[in-house]
């Protein structure tokens, strides 16, 4: 398991102003910079990325929420891996369920992953089932999603690679409705098994695994301790600086 915890703030389409973004970034960076057992990553919306260009440190990094799969071409509205690298981003979320809901396919996700890796950026690829059925069909759904999203990814690509497991049914709720650490651990083991079948047992251990879906202050420690994951992908709770900082501190103390 990775020694440092990886705590990723996915701000989604927030906050509504540059002024608020600066405050949120500043407070989080200051606190995150003091923690030696956590790497904090902030993923602001595209218009704010430039505000924080090269503001990353060894403890606090900049990430993007999406990317296009090529550096050149006619692609109105898209942002290339090269541009992200140039503003100092080191991580890129790929295939978030909210992007998949807008039409992003596994094939697009795999193209994006390859483009991100080619640029030397670290992808955070999101996978997760929409719902859990009593027959356990969601395991097959998850397996197929992982296999198709990772099409074309080589063993050596996993050295800097993050997989975020985000069950859709647990996103945007409260900690009480998040997945239990026990179920997260079961799914983490399953994801590693799928990778072991696709590659080999050693490769399966390489990617960093995160959990996302209503991670808040109250469930951070339990998930990190018992969930079989090395960090969290945090949505709404990352928008409140003091709440997110307490999550970072809690991760740092594990
Ligand atoms: P919430 O933490 O708001 O549930 O969002 C999770 C998520 O989608 C992070 O990418």
- The parent domain of residue 220 ranges over 5-252
pLDDT digits (tens, 9 = 90+) for 111-169: 999 999 999 999 999 999 999 889 889 999 999 999 999 999 999 999 999 999 999 99
What is residue 1's predicted lDDT score, i.e. its pLDDT? 61
Domain of 228, CATH number, reads 3.20.20.70
Q: Is 153 helix (H, G, I), strand (E, B) or coil?
A: coil
The whole-angstrom separation of Cα 103 and Cα 113 is: 17
CA 210 from chain center: how many Å?
7
Handedness of CA 41, 44, 48, 49 (dihedral sign): positive
Burial class, 219, CB count within 10 angstroms (exposed 0-12 / middle 13-18 / buried 19+): buried
Residues 84 and 92 sit within 8 Å (Cβ to Cβ): yes
What is residue 136's predicted lDDT score, i.e. its pLDDT? 86
What percent of the chain lies above the pLDDT cut of 70?
Answer: 99
What is residue 154's predicted lDDT score, i.e. its pLDDT? 97
Question: What distance in angstroms lies between residue 200's CA and the mean position of ligand 1's atoms?
Answer: 30
Compute the chain's Rg from CA coordinates.
17
**pLDDT bucket at 3, cuts 50 / 70 / 90:** confident
Which position has the higher pLDDT, 30 or 1?
Answer: 30
The whole-angstrom separation of Cα 39 and Cα 25 is: 14
Q: Are strands 60-64 and 38-43 parallel, antiparallel or unpaired?
A: parallel
Q: Which two tokens stand for residue 213?
A: 């879906």
Ligand 1 atom with minimal separation from the 233 CA:
9
Question: What distance in angstroms lies between residue 98's CA and the mean position of ligand 1's atoms?
Answer: 10
Question: What distance in angstroms lies between residue 39's CA and the mean position of ligand 1's atoms?
Answer: 18
Q: Which two tokens stand for residue 75?
A: 């692609």
Ligand 1 atom with minimal separation from the 237 CA:
2
**pLDDT bucket at 195, cuts 50 / 70 / 90:** very high
State which of 233, 240, 244 you would mutate to test the pocket of ligand 1, scoring each by most atoms of that ligand within 8 A of its C-beta. Answer: 233
pLDDT digits (tens, 9 = 90+) for 80-123: 999 999 999 999 999 999 999 999 999 999 999 999 999 999 99
Residue bearing the CA closest to ligand 1, atom 2: 235
State which of 44, 126, 128, 212 you would mutate to test the pocket of ligand 1, scoring each by most atoms of that ligand within 8 A of its C-beta. Answer: 212
Question: What distance in angstroms lies between residue 79's CA and the mean position of ligand 1's atoms?
Answer: 22
Question: What distance in angstroms lies between residue 241's CA and the mean position of ligand 1's atoms?
Answer: 15
Burial class, 166, CB count within 10 angstroms (exposed 0-12 / middle 13-18 / buried 19+): buried
CA 231 to each of CA 3, 26, 51, 78, 87: distance values in angstroms, whole numbers, following the listed order: 10, 21, 26, 29, 25
Q: Calculate mean pLDDT across residues 63-71.
A: 98
Q: Ligand 1: residues within 6 Å at CB?
A: 10, 96, 166, 171-172, 212-215, 233-237
The whole-angstrom separation of Cα 117 and Cα 122 is: 6
pTM exceeds cut of 0.95:
yes
How many structural domains comprise the chain?
1
Ligand 1 atom with minimal separation from the 216 CA:
2
State which of 6, 8, 9, 10 you would mutate to test the pocket of ligand 1, scoring each by most atoms of that ligand within 8 A of its C-beta. Answer: 10
Q: How far apart are the first and last CA of the chain?
A: 13
**pLDDT bucket at 9, cuts 50 / 70 / 90:** very high
**Residues annotated as part of the active site:** 96, 166
User: Across-strand partners of 10?
Assistant: 43
């Amino acid at each position: 398991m990775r020694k440092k915890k990886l705590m990723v703030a996915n701000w989604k389409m927030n906050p509504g102003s540059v002024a608020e973004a600066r405050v949120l970034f500043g407070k989080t960076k200051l606190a995150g910079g003091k923690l030696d057992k956590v790497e904090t990553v902030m993923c602001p919306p595209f218009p704010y990325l430039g505000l924080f260009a090269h503001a990353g440190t060894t403890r606090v990094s900049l990430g993007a929420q999406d990317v296009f799969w090529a550096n050149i071409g006619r692609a109105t509205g898209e942002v290339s891996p090269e541009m992200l690298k140039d503003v100092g981003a080191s991580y890129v979320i790929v295939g978030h369920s909210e992007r998949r809901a807008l039409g992003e396919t596994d094939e697009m996700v795999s193209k994006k992953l390859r483009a991100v890796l080619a640029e030397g950026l670290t992808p955070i690829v999101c996978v997760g089932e929409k719902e859990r059925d009593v027959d356990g069909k969601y395991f097959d759904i998850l397996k197929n999603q992982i296999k198709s999203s990772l099409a074309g990814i080589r063993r050596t690509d996993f050295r800097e690679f993050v997989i975020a497991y985000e069950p859709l049914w647990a996103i945007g709720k409260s900690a009480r409705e998040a997945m239990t650490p026990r179920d997260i651990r079961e799914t983490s083991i399953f994801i590693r098994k799928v990778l072991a079948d696709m590659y080999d047992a050693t490769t399966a251990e390489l990617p960093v695994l995160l959990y996302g879906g209503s991670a808040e202050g109250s469930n951070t420690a339990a998930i990190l301790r018992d969930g079989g994951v090395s960090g969290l992908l945090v949505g709404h709770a990352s928008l409140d600086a003091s709440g997110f900082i307490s999550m970072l501190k809690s991760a740092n103390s594990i």
